[in-house]
Structure 1
């Protein structure tokens, strides 16, 4: 199937106090449909492992046009979009009952040589998959984020059992929970529209302690979107060695 889709009712665990879909739950949905589609296309976990390869999420951007509410039934879709240099590109959207896209996303993946831990050129894998030309969920998304020198420490987290996935490192959606937890709850609960961009820079293993650093972004906007009411930069750093393991930027548009 060129486009994979699954339908989900929004349940209690998918929402916050505003009764609406959270960022972290959205990343969970996107992860599940991407895995299902890769398996269907013959490039899933076990098929890639047989050739000594694996998928690694490098960047993803998500934009909420509207935050669906508890009790709504939504359709989560995903599709490959070819490649850009070393990155395999995959798009997403979430559609409401009227088939209107309310959340849109774009991700960049690396195909990794598992033994050497080095990225491979994606054409050999992506060239066999549908290109879905013109089906651009979030043009300009999933870009690179620069390091900042104005960040202040907002907290820290130690990677525990519940953070670690099958691959033995912190799952991509758990980073989003960490970001949510160092953000003012009112900012997230009141957001009508929002955009999150995140770059995954290094895997985090069980037991590692990560310092979480944040700073407001001033005078910032994103292409094809209104100026944000609030914008925040984030960086996760290893406590030992001060190495950056992720960078992210959140932009919130409007409030309830």
Structure 2
């Protein structure tokens, strides 16, 4: 198979960047998502392809580690591939490289299939499993640690209102928005003076237009390590749990 299907080339633009001239996490994730979409399309199993059968991909979890954030005008390439599959999960891995071969970012993610009409998760259909598109490109180790939030420990909170612009092609909140919302609870002063090194996020329930959430966080016993929960304001149900690691 042509190796180029696993790579997506990007130049970091000014709109991608913070005032520090490095890429914002949501923008980096957006490029990674586009790379995944491109790869899935070439393999014949994109979201659009699945929608013809009234099903779609939904991300269940991602663990992302940042070695160095790409900088303004830097040319980078996102490598992504389907790395594993079982009855319910597919695993998709990512690496972001500089033009001279420096590894910048590494991530692994788990994906499920949802029935669009019933809005419920289903087993991966046989026709997808039989396509045999799983590859080994020095695959990243699966996520093992479980993230647990302790509500009584909450130190910081922020209210979130889902807008029409937060909804994606699957008619629910795009997963990229959740990263922004859980980290926003830390506040601009903290985010301005600390560099995100790693984030592990689990998506438990979908968000819809008009939902209101409360983004909560507390610092764990480890320095600059935070636990996060995004809770529905009316039901109290946790839609997201996450753990983030920072460096000063």
TM-score by length of 1: 0.87
- Work out which of the residue numbers 185, 204, 219 in structure 2 matches 1:216: 219
- Contact 2:82–2:135 (Cα < 8 Å) also in 1: yes
- Provide the secondary structure at the position in 2 that maps to 1:198: strand
Q: What stretches of structure 1 of length at least 5 have no aligned partner?
A: 220-228
CA contact (8 A) 2:83 2:93 kept: yes
Q: Flag structure 2 segments of 5+ consecutive residues without an equivalent.
A: none
CA shift, 1:84, in A, is 4.6
Distance 1:123 1:104 in 2: 29
Do 2:149 and 2:227's aligned partners in 1 also have CA atoms closer than 8 Å? no
Partner of 2:157: 154
Give the corresponding residue for 1:91.
93
Q: How does 1:177-216 map to 2 (within 5 A)?
A: 177-192=180-195, 194-216=197-219
1:81-139 CA distance string (max 9 Å, x none):
122552110001110011121100111000122233332333732442432225223x2
Deviation at 1:213, TM superposition (A): 0.7
Distance in 1 between residues matched to 2:149 and 2:189, nearest whole Å: 26
Partner of 1:12: 14
Native 8 Å contact 1:19 1:70 kept in 2:
yes
- 2:55 aligned with 1:53, yes or no? yes
- Describe the shift of the 1:51–1:123 C-alpha distance in structure 2 as closer, same or farther (beyond 3 A): closer
Counterparts of 1:4 and 1:43, CA distance in 2? 14
Contact 1:82 1:130 in 2 (8 A): no
Summarize the Cα distance change of 1:75–1:190 in structure 2 as closer, same or farther, 3 Å threshold.
farther
Shift, 1:141, TM fit? 3.1
- Name the Cα RMSD after superposition: 2.1
CA contact 1:16–1:189 (8 Å) conserved in 2: no
Q: 1:62 matched to which residue of 2?
A: 64
The normalised TM-score by structure 2 is: 0.89
1:226 aligns to what? none
Report the CA distance between 1:199 and its aligned residue.
0.7
Distance between the aligned counterparts of 1:142 and 1:209, measured in 2? 30
Report Cα offsets for 1:128-179 as digits up to 9, x if no partner: 2432225223x24375422323224511111012211122211111112223
1:29-178 aligned at under 5 Å gives the runs 29-84=31-86, 86-122=88-124, 124=126, 125-133=128-136, 135-137=138-140, 139-141=141-143, 144-149=146-151, 150-178=153-181
Matched, 1:236 2:230: yes
